């Protein structure tokens, strides 16, 4: 449920993020040989819609720059993974830099480092879970998924803590861990449902929806949208 109509700061974030998305779209088109002709337009449209939803949902605040930065890179990562099965290192680096830049701006804006604990906790929880999958279930999880999980966990960790109301560090730590588990379940549920639907429609195994990266990327954005 959206909380307010968009105002000038909201639209400025949407416009700036979409412009940055256009730059990344251009870079993807030139760097990734397997990019389809429809991908740049689809990437730009999806980025704009998600940014508009984020600003409508949470308003133009400094901490919103964290999921905005993540989203701008997450959309091309998801589309590339769906089409090629790859999460390019250069684009993962862009996602990391944009997410951390948003966190730095929010830290300087509020002069408050408490959410950084949430950022590190989120990165550790997500990274630890996907590292275990990568090590103990070889072939089921790629290195790109592992790298993306750390970035996604960091973005969720900051956002979760920045909207928390309790001042108790241990209580917030437990609450965040429970929330992270819920987000992981959401991401894997999206992956499973998409596969079952695709299998029911096509009557065969659809390899594209077996890839986890798109659901990790866009599931993270959906989780931010669902946060209070």
Q: Which of 4-13, 96-105, 109-118, 151-160 has the highest mean pLDDT?
A: 96-105
Q: What are phi and psi of 55, to 5 degrees?
A: -70, -35
Q: How confident is the model at residue 89 (pLDDT cuts 50, 70, 90)?
A: very high
Residue pair 64/13 in contact (Cβ under 8 Å)? The answer is yes
pLDDT of residue 6: 52
pLDDT of residue 1: 36
- Residue 100 forms part of a structural domain: yes
Q: At how many degrees (to 10) do helices 143-162 and 65-84 cross?
A: 160
pLDDT of residue 85: 85
Residue pair 154/99 in contact (Cβ under 8 Å)? The answer is yes
DSSP for 142-189?
A: -HHHHHHHHHHHHHHHHHHHHT-----HHHHHHHHHHHHHHHHHHHHH
pLDDT of 15 higher than 70: yes
Q: How confident is the model at residue 165 (pLDDT cuts 50, 70, 90)?
A: very low
Q: How confident is the model at residue 161 (pLDDT cuts 50, 70, 90)?
A: low
pLDDT of 177 higher than 90: no
- Residue 1 forms part of a structural domain: no
pLDDT of residue 54: 92
- Residue 68 forms part of a structural domain: yes
* Domains in the chain, number: 1
Residue pair 21/47 in contact (Cβ under 8 Å)? The answer is yes
The stretch 32-55 carries a mean pLDDT of 88
- Residue 79 forms part of a structural domain: yes
- Residue 2 forms part of a structural domain: no
- Residue 139 forms part of a structural domain: yes
Range of the structural domain that residue 121 is part of: 8-226
Residue 16 burial (C-beta neighbours within 10 Å; 0-12, 13-18, 19+) = middle
- Residue 179 forms part of a structural domain: yes
Residue pair 80/88 in contact (Cβ under 8 Å)? The answer is yes
Alpha-carbon torsion (212, 213, 218, 220), positive or negative: positive
Neighbouring C-beta atoms of residue 144, cutoff 10 Å: 22
- Residue 98 forms part of a structural domain: yes
pLDDT of 141 higher than 90: no
CA distance 130 to 109: 32
pLDDT tens, residue by residue, 107-126: 888 776 667 777 888 898 89
Which residue, among 158, 160, 155, 196, has the nearest Cα to 175 in the 3D structure? 160
* pTM (2 d.p.): 0.86
């Amino acid at each position: 449920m959206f909380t307010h109509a968009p105002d000038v700061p909201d639209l400025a974030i949407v416009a700036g993020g979409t412009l940055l998305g256009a730059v990344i779209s251009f870079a993807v088109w030139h760097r990734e040989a397997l990019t389809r002709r429809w991908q740049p337009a689809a990437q730009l449209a999806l980025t704009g819609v998600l940014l508009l939803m984020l600003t409508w949902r949470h308003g133009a605040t400094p901490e919103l720059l964290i999921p905005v930065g993540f989203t701008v890179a997450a959309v091309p990562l998801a589309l590339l993974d769906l089409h090629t099965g790859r999460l390019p290192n250069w684009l993962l680096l862009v996602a990391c830099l944009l997410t951390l830049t948003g966190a730095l701006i929010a830290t300087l804006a509020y002069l408050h480092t408490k959410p950084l604990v949430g950022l590190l906790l989120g990165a550790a929880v997500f990274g630890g879970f996907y590292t275990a999958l990568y090590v103990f279930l070889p072939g089921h999880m790629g290195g790109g998924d592992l790298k993306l999980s750390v970035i996604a966990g960091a973005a969720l960790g900051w956002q979760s803590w920045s909207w928390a109301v309790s001042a108790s560090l241990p209580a917030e730590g437990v609450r965040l861990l429970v929330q992270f588990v819920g987000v992981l379940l959401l991401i894997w549920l999206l992956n499973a449902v998409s596969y079952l639907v695709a299998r029911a429609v096509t009557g065969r195994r659809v390899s594209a929806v077996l890839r986890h990266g798109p659901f990790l990327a866009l599931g993270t954005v959906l989780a931010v949208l669902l946060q209070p």
